[in-house]
A and B are shown apart, each in its own frame.
Chain A
Amino acid sequence: MEYKIKIAEVFSISPGSRHPDEGDYSGQEFREKILIPMFRKCLNAKQFLTIDLDGTLGYGTSFLEEVFGGLAREFTVDEVLNHIKIISNEEDYLIDDIKEYIKDAKG
């Protein structure tokens, strides 16, 4: 079974800020409602989770850090790095940035 999340389809075409009190479609909301439940399933199934960033208007860094750094804070840096794949054909530079947000994540 393939585990895949396309943010533009399951969440929003205009992802917002870090926390819900800062505006709509925050990184925290995405992580808690969509990403974490799916990531748990992937870990249990020992599968990869593919996250597709294309098809949105673009991303702010707070959203990305909260989603991916936050995921590493919830689990571990290694678990996240070893179980997610990022698709970002429209903004390829985001892949490196996200890897660094994960590595820099602090509990």
Chain B
Amino acid sequence: MNKSVKKHKDAKLLRRRLISNQKQKKRNKSLQGLSKSEVDFIKQFKDYNKINAPINFSFVHSTEKTVEFIRKIERSFSIKQKIFVNLERVEYIDNSAIIVLLSVMNLFRSRGLGFGGNYPIAEDAAILLYNSGFLKSLFRGSRKLTYTFGKKNQLFTQENKKVVASLGHPLMIEVGFTIFGERKIFKGLQRILLELMQNTNNHAVVDNKGQKNWWLSVNHDRENNKVAFSFVDYGVGVFESLKSKKEGNKWFGAFEKVKNRLKYGTNEEVLKLLLNGDLHMTVTGKHFRGKGIPGMKQVLDRNQISNLHVITNDAYADVSGNNYKKLRNHFSGTFVYWDIDDTNQTTEWSIK
């Protein structure tokens, strides 16, 4: 070997060794004072991409930051990078965030991609996350849908996009007791659940992307006689689904057909038309008759539910507050939140 080439190579090796030694010293220093289990914990996740959750971790109340956080997780998933979800700094967390996090983390679990995480330092947030059944649901997977009576917070999922109408039975019994202290039928609840499950079944997948599940979080607030529901369909989202319709489908070219009715041509404008049933009328020439997404707003208009929120792709709708806006970040799926309280319409229990 040429002498100068060898000299150059040796120098390069020496530089590398020095850098490596420096890094090792730095690592050792950062681990000083930690217990063995803490050191093992850090070493276990050293190759993982650490993603920090927002301080206010709520899909409904802090949508932009939460979608941004979910996007980071999705990016890691797309390049098959292992992730560590850092919840340490989370001060507020709610079930809307937990169900979305669960749906996206399930992608890692189902593809055998490494993931880890920690609990918030804030006690209330940590307790809420623990009581949500998040970890149990994440590792149990979605093979079987089981309802447990007496639990304040429950997470449900169903693989193969199945519509599980029978879930409404135990749900209504408990919702009735939480809100009214007796059994009641909530026709609006059954309608919205069926339409959402059906929507996942028919529209969530364009090219077999990701999981084909729906996820539902049910949370009883006994002090305020209220039950909150968060539904996530981690599919392609409403607009991506609409755009992908082929010729012959009644929704083919829907965006073109409503163009002149839009001021800016944005998705939140289309979402408003869709929820009001106007998109259906313009595209098909017929009333929507309770079908699909506009059927959810009809349930709200009949006062069978309250506080309806829909988030899909880059569109946010606080339907009850008539507040529609464009999101900076894109959410790959459809999220729907609503709640039921003692002001909502019910039917006397007539189930035999």
Interface residues of A (CB under 8 A from B): 8-9, 12-18, 22-25, 54-63, 65, 90-91, 93, 97, 100-101, 104
Contact = CB atoms under 8 A, between A and B. Distances in A.
Contacts of A101: 289
Given A13-B169, A22-B163, A97-B290, A57 B195 contact: no
A57 B172 contact: yes
Chief secondary structure at chain B's binding surface? helix
A43 B279 CA distance: 38
A65 B295 CA distance: 14
Contact of A62 (B162, B168, B194, B351): B194
Contact of B162 (A12, A15, A22, A58): A22
Chief secondary structure at chain A's binding surface? loop
Interface of B: 161-166, 168-169, 172, 185-191, 194-195, 197-198, 201, 286-287, 289-292, 295, 302, 347, 350-352
30 contacts: A13-B351, A13-B352, A15-B165, A16-B163, A22-B162, A23-B164, A23-B197, A24-B166, A55-B350, A55-B352, A56-B351, A57-B169, A57-B172, A57-B187, A57-B190, A58-B168, A58-B186, A58-B189, A58-B190, A60-B163, A60-B191, A61-B191, A61-B194, A61-B289, A62-B198, A62-B291, A65-B291, A90-B185, A90-B347, A100-B287
B194 A17 contact: yes
A9 B350 CA distance: 12
A24 B198 contact: no
A17 B352 contact: no
Contact of A24 (B165, B190, B347): B165
A58 B194 contact: yes
Given A23-B162, A57-B169, A17 B191 contact: no
A31 to B, nearest CB: 16
Contacts of B352: 8-9, 13, 55
Contacts of A16: 163-166, 194
A87 B197 CA distance: 26
A14 B201 CA distance: 18
Contact of A60 (B186, B188, B194, B347): B194
Contacts of A63: 194
Contacts of A93: 290, 302
A57 B198 contact: no
Given A22-B162, A24-B166, A91 B187 contact: yes
A17 B162 CA distance: 9
